[in-house]
Amino acid sequence: MTHPAVSSGRAAVITGGASGIGLAAAVKLAGLGMKVCIADIDALALESAATTIASHARHDSDVIAVAADVSRIEDVQVLKDRAFSAFGDVAVLMNNAGTEGGGQLFGDHARWQRILGVNLWGVINGVQTFVPEMIKQGNSCAIINTGSKQGITCPPGDTAYNVSKAGIKVTTEALAHELRNIGGCRITAHLLIPGFTFTGLTRVHTQSKPDAAWMPEQVVDFMLESMARGDFYILCPDNAVPREIDELRMRWAMDDIIENRPPLSRWHPDYKSAFEDFLKEGLSK
């Protein structure tokens, strides 16, 4: 069972497609018979990735690669023109391009701008540029935006990244609402929330896959299975954190508001024991 947009002969556009989850998604979809357009800012990696994807595609012409900085609306508009010119329509849009964190609250302003530009504005630019054209097609489509658990629980120390991923969550929820209120619209929106995944960003810190991490291919398989079920929130586990723990962490974060606790109380020394008890109780049920 697959999402109706994941169909042989139709096309997918994937940003951040030269590595990690984006490349794994491109290879998988090409293997399922889809035409694929990948975009990335790294031109050398883009060329290598296109060769890899083409080896899984039906024809070399079913794969195109476009160098793009998704923080620039002009680049995303060029990407849209290239994809529609090559393939005629777009069935799957995966706004996946991202940059790692490092944006401390009082950190470098330029780093903040870059993180928000790529992670958040890259998604907004993709949605605003592609989705109106996809609506006009009148057929089944899917939009996947890559978020993060950090955009929900917001652990301290990586504020710019958390803000960018929280913004993606809000944007994707709004997109789903808009789409379901358009008469006859057959487009679904999905928020991909990966767990710890061994990607290019992880390799900055280690060349060996940590035991706790999933491979990008596992994330993509989980994503496609979730889309086939009609899931909006695609909350991925990994080899260290099962879904039950993720759910409890997220519930605690929301309860900070409901219980009027200090913000980010999970990391507050006065609430350390209370959170540990909450986790134990929840896992014992």
pLDDT tens digits, residue range 97-128?
A: 999 888 899 999 999 999 999 999 999 999 99
Establish if 2 belongs to a structural domain.
no
Q: What is the pLDDT of residue 176?
A: 98
Tell me: do 174 and 54 sit in the same domain. Answer: yes
Averaged pLDDT of the chain: 96
Q: What is the mean pLDDT of residues 139-167?
A: 97
Model pLDDT for residues 83-100, shown as the tens digit of each residue:
999 999 999 999 999 998
User: Are residues 158 and 266 located together in one domain of the fold?
Assistant: no
Does residue 162 share a domain with residue 66? yes
Mean pLDDT throughout 207-228?
94
- The residue annotated as part of the active site, out of 161, 198, 222, 252, is 161
Q: Do 99 and 126 share a domain, yes or no?
A: yes
The size of the chain, in residues, is 285
* pLDDT for the residue numbered 202: 55
Other Cβ atoms less than 10 A from the Cβ of 209: the count is: 14
Mean per-residue pLDDT, 61-90? 98
- 33-47 pLDDT tens trace: 999 999 999 999 999
The range of the structural domain enclosing residue 275 comes to 242-285
In three-state form (DSSP H/G/I as H, E/B as E, the rest C), the secondary structure along the chain is: CCCCCCCCCCEEEEECCCCHHHHHHHHHHHHCCCEEEEEECCHHHHHHHHHHHHCCCCCHHHEEEEECCCCCHHHHHHHHHHHHHHHCCCCEEEECCCCCCCCCCCCCHHHHHHHHHHHHHHHHHHHHHHHHHHHHHCCCEEEEEECCCHHHHCCCCCHHHHHHHHHHHHHHHHHHHHHHCCCCCCEEEEEEECCCECCHHHHCCCCCCCCCCECHHHHHHHHHHHHHHCCCEEECCCCCCCHHHHHHHHHHHHHHHHCCCCCCHHHCHHHHHHHHHHHHHHHHC
Mean pLDDT of 16-45: 97
Q: Say whether 161 is catalytic.
A: yes
Work out the percent of the chain whose per-residue pLDDT is above 70: 97
Span 193-219, average pLDDT: 83
Determine, yes or no, domain membership for 3: no
pLDDT at 261: 98
Q: Confidence class of residue 199 from pLDDT cuts 50, 70 and 90?
A: confident
pLDDT over 70 (residue 206): no
Residues 125 and 230 in one domain: yes
Total tally of structural domains belonging to the chain:
2
Say if 6 falls within a structural domain: no
Using CA atoms, how far residue 52 sits from 17, 31, 57, 67, 68, in Å, is: 11, 11, 9, 16, 19
- pLDDT of amino acid 103: 85
Q: Which residues of 39-54 are buried (b: 16+ CB within 10 A; e: fewer)?
A: bbbeeebbeebbeebb
Residues 231 and 257 in one domain: no
pTM, entire model: 0.95
The predicted structure's pLDDT at residue 201: 61
